[in-house]
Amino acid sequence: MQKRKLGNSGLEVSALGLGCMGMSFSYGPPKDKQEMTSLLRAAVDRGITFFDTAEVYGPFLNEELVGEALAPFRYRVVIATKFGFDLSPNFDPRGMKGLPGLNSRPEHIKQAAEGSLKRLKVDVIDLLYQHRVDPNVPIEDVAGAVKDLIQEGKVKHFGLSEAGVQTIRRAHAVQPVTALQSEYSLWTRTPEKEVIPTLEELGIGLVPYSPLGKGFLTGKIDENAKFDSSDFRSTLPRFTPQALQANQALINLLASIGERKKATPAQIALAWLLAQKPWIVPIPGTTKLDRLDENIGAVSVELTADDLRDIETAASKITVEGARYPEKLEQMTGR
């Protein structure tokens, strides 16, 4: 497995990480713990060293799963987790409908970090992200709280998720930001306009989540797909039958490039991301071993300048239908 560095931080990880959310949260009921433990360990065996979780996934279940599964490999892997939601006892975790309120007050960040340390079975968190920007707490206070945790030896690196350019700059001035995690793929290209140039300027890595469009870019989902109410895609405008049908043009593009490269649509989608910048590390999630192997295969797919130009030309003619989130969730991004 190739390695990459997240910006100028010196944090080196596998070129592809593993998003662990779907093992416990948002995509139907939590999966079998033993099966997911085996999958996480298989990922380590295949050279993946970068694992992504968060306290809200479950809540707490996902960190416990990841912590236990990866305990034997602690010094071979980098585990990223996140704080920033108010996980009160009455929070209902079924899908994203019951999403809790935001809380990035410094005392809450420190409490969240202590909880994550215990659940992950580690004495230091490799990368700690603010999950969503909290408009009620100055980002300088957030960065300052994480800076304190870094000075105490409880956290190594600070990250942001779905933050806007001004927030990134203000946070970075207080405590250098190692990575920004935001949705980025061929069907969500929002970061290209302002965010990616800012990250390049400041030396911050980009960790695209949903690099396969929540499964859509695998080519296995069409307008006939049915999503259970426990699957948060059932609430997303981009996953209505009309939007899925309209967006098939993107799958046709990936499939045509895939034929040329002897690769699947998913592999082309990931290879395209890897080709954008050397400091981009996508974190596709999966609960299946064959999908894990398929995703890892993307690292070996080399897209030439001609391939990239062909993708760009074709993609520029495709208008992606549907918002990526319902309005309440969309408002939490780009702040």
Percentage of residues of the chain with pLDDT beyond 90: 93
> How far is it, in rounded angstroms, from Cα 53 to Cα 120?
10
Read off φ and ψ for residue 181, nearest 5 degrees: -105, 120
> How far is it, in rounded angstroms, from Cα 111 to Cα 154?
12
Angle at 132 between CA 176 and CA 239, to 5 degrees: 130
H/E segment holding residue 253 = helix 248-261
pLDDT in tens, 30-81: 999 999 999 999 999 999 999 999 999 989 999 999 999 999 999 999 999 9
Q: Given the DSSP bridges, would you call strands 155-161 and 125-130 parallel, antiparallel or unpaired?
A: parallel
Whether the CB-CB separation of 76 and 49 falls below 8 Å is answered with yes
**CA distances in angstroms from 41 to 27, 178, 254, listed in the order given:** 21, 26, 30
Whether the CB-CB separation of 175 and 142 falls below 8 Å is answered with no
pLDDT at position 245: 95
Q: Could you give all domains of the chain from N- to C-terminal order, each with its CATH number? A: 3-213+278-302 (3.20.20.100)
> How far is it, in rounded angstroms, from Cα 108 to Cα 46?
36
Mean of pLDDT values over 85-112: 78
Structure letter (DSSP) for residue 279 = T
Is the pLDDT at 95 greater than 60? The verdict is no
> How far is it, in rounded angstroms, from Cα 67 to Cα 37?
10
Other Cβ atoms less than 10 A from the Cβ of 155: the count is 24
Compute CA 140 distance to the chain's CA centroid, rounded to the nearest angstrom.
Answer: 24
Is the pLDDT at 98 greater than 70? The verdict is no
Is the pLDDT at 310 greater than 90? The verdict is yes
pLDDT at position 87: 87
- What is the chain's mean pLDDT, rounded? 95
Alpha-carbon dihedral angle through residues 241, 243, 244, 249, given to the nearest 10 degrees: 140
pLDDT at position 320: 95
Is the pLDDT at 244 greater than 50? The verdict is yes
H/E segment holding residue 39 = helix 33-45
> How far is it, in rounded angstroms, from Cα 184 to Cα 213?
8
Whether the CB-CB separation of 16 and 3 falls below 8 Å is answered with no
pLDDT at position 16: 98
H/E segment holding residue 174 = helix 165-174
Whether the CB-CB separation of 118 and 72 falls below 8 Å is answered with no
Mean of pLDDT values over 319-328: 93
Whether the CB-CB separation of 151 and 124 falls below 8 Å is answered with no
**CA distances in angstroms from 313 to 307, 308, 316, listed in the order given:** 10, 9, 5
Please choose, from the candidates 84, 271, 237, the residue with its C-alpha nearest in 3D space to the C-alpha of residue 162: 84
Is the pLDDT at 97 greater than 60? The verdict is no
Mean of pLDDT values over 173-187: 97
Q: How many CA atoms within 13 Å lie on the side-chain side of 150?
A: 19
pLDDT at position 28: 87
Is the pLDDT at 189 greater than 70? The verdict is yes
More confident residue, 328 or 107: 107
More confident residue, 144 or 229: 144
Strand, coil or helix: what is 257? helix
More confident residue, 98 or 137: 137
Q: Which residues touch 329 (CB under 8 Å, ≥6 apart)?
A: 96, 99
Please choose, from the candidates 190, 162, 187, 180, the residue with its C-alpha nearest in 3D space to the C-alpha of residue 280: 180
Catalytically annotated residues: 57
Mean of pLDDT values over 248-266: 97
Is the pLDDT at 89 greater than 80? The verdict is no
Q: Which residues touch 199 (CB under 8 Å, ≥6 apart)?
A: 7, 168, 180, 205, 206, 279
